[in-house]
Chains A and B, each alone.
Chain A
Amino acid sequence: MAHSTKVMYRQTVDYEEHQNPFLVHSRTYSQQYSQIYYCRLAALRQVVEDSARNKWTGNVLFIDRLLHLQQGNNCVIVGVIYKEMDLKPSILKEYSKNPAEPVPILPVKPCFISDSDVVILEDETGRIRLNFDHCDLSAGTLLTGTVVAVKGQETSSGDFSVDDICFPGIPSLKIPYSLDNDIFILFVSGVGLGAPWNVSMREALFLDFVSGKLGNEEDYEFCCQVGHLFVLGNLLSCAGQETLAMKSQEQPTVSGPQQLLNAEPLISADRFLTTLSSTIPVTLLPGEADPTNLLLPQQPLHHSLLPSSSKYNSLRRVTNPYQCCLNGRKILACSGQNVDDACRYSTFDWNSVEDRLTVMENMLSLRHLCPTAPDTLPCYPYYEEDPFVLKECPHIYVVGNQPAYGTRLINSNGVGVRLVCVPDFSTTGQVVLLNLRTLTPQIMEFMIDLN
């Protein structure tokens, strides 16, 4: 058995990050949420109008502002969708039960849809109720916060009867340059360190795989082709996040250093990342459960929390959402809150990956990453621009912490766009590999058979 000590090198990926629009440098909170809708509408109004003019030719009247709407005309209006839904979590309802509660944490229903929902279109000048009685479209899949054009007429009762609806459409993108070799990007999400039920053996297997310690030479060679790792949020478990929230409820003022938090999960996260970063370039997105701010975009994890791993240049701590360019392929990555929240607005099945892919596809076509923010998805109160508006289409749109693996290739003017749902690792043990050359994803599962 001649074991030649062959040195193998991991393939390098050409990584480009232009200025990250999701970094928030100075924060003020004296403004309100209206500005972000205003900016969103301003950014997308022309786009959706152009798209509508392409879709509806012939005798239709384009109304520039809602207030100029006249009864009875067949016309097109543009605005932001707002859905009134009784099942949305409402702090006011909570207060009517118990006004003494400081600011209670509200239970969030998995679906907000009910019979009493009302769909409204709003612009800077007013709002109007949409009714879908005379069209085949269902209001069920519309999302609050999306900019759309609707065609129809105002009825005598003051509603707008919708005939058809038009989205901005997927933005165009360039065909990426072709690659000679297969090169893989690895995606993992929801590792969930620190959860009591955590199966740490699986994480160890995963680490071994990434560092090439697993399997035979073939596997080892394959491993060298994996050029980059994305950790798509929830590296820590939400069990930890609950205690975080509870602690701050009990102690809402910073009164001294007496009480030390349970640092255990963070230490294991640091160790986990150190191991990874020493063998592969890592991009780390925070997720809902990770120790950073709550409002989207979530900011990169602070270096003091990860003292050891943050010394590695190969670890990039980035925002959620995040976008960059790998070998000329644009990647848009989120850790999943946007898709989860959007699913609550529709009749979609919470656990259906196909439905989730449709939500992702719709987001591209709506040109917005998290339309339901700020209404039901907390986000920073932007007042100069809405950074979540998609100016260009990514080649790869990947979302973490999903109930299961799923993928779809969609076609945007002849260019393929790859959508990927990356499952939650702590419950599935699954990670996703994506071939940058072909944009084909594959799933990989780490199982430990205890028998």
Chain B
Amino acid sequence: MMGTVIPMDGVRSQSGRSRPGKVGLWVFLAVVTMLFTLLLFAYLMRMQFADWRALPLPWQLWLSTVLLAASSTALFIAHRCVQRGRWREVRAFVLAGGACAAAFVAGQLWAWQQLAEQHYLVAGNPANSFFYLLTGLHGLHVLGGLIGLALTMARLRRGSEQAGGYVQLCARYWHFLFAVWLVLFTVMGTVTPALARSICGGLLS
């Protein structure tokens, strides 16, 4: 150990241990998974009550799904380019991924607007309330990710050494957000009160 240079954050280049950022991100993803799992359980339990009236999912959701898929793909490619050291392409794909994610948020807002015009307001029915709550919280997580992505972009422009690592973290977070969105979209689109009753019926009666 004598004379070894040890970085301040205590990370050592010992085999078998990944960077703290990666571990930290995994832990964070576990927290967010818990958050959405609990929300979905609440959704399934609440929908079994008689006043539930499913709302028609606006077509804009399909558009935003495509956008988020594109965003996730762009960051996947960006991460690949990091591994090959093609920094110009990394920057381009990170930018593209960010743009698609921003467009996703806009798409979600468009869907909200559409629903509001059709008088599906937040307090109208628990189905509406949950729709706004789930998409809203997911959207906030995308916005939070965009802040991280912007910081990564700034590091990429400065040519910081660690920027590649950050691209990887962003890509992982984006795949996760996309997966969460797919689950939310599927549940909101397919689960009926009868199905919910067979999954977790009785908990509230």
Binding partners A and B:
no
Interface residues of B (CB under 8 A from A): none
Interface residues of A (CB under 8 A from B): none
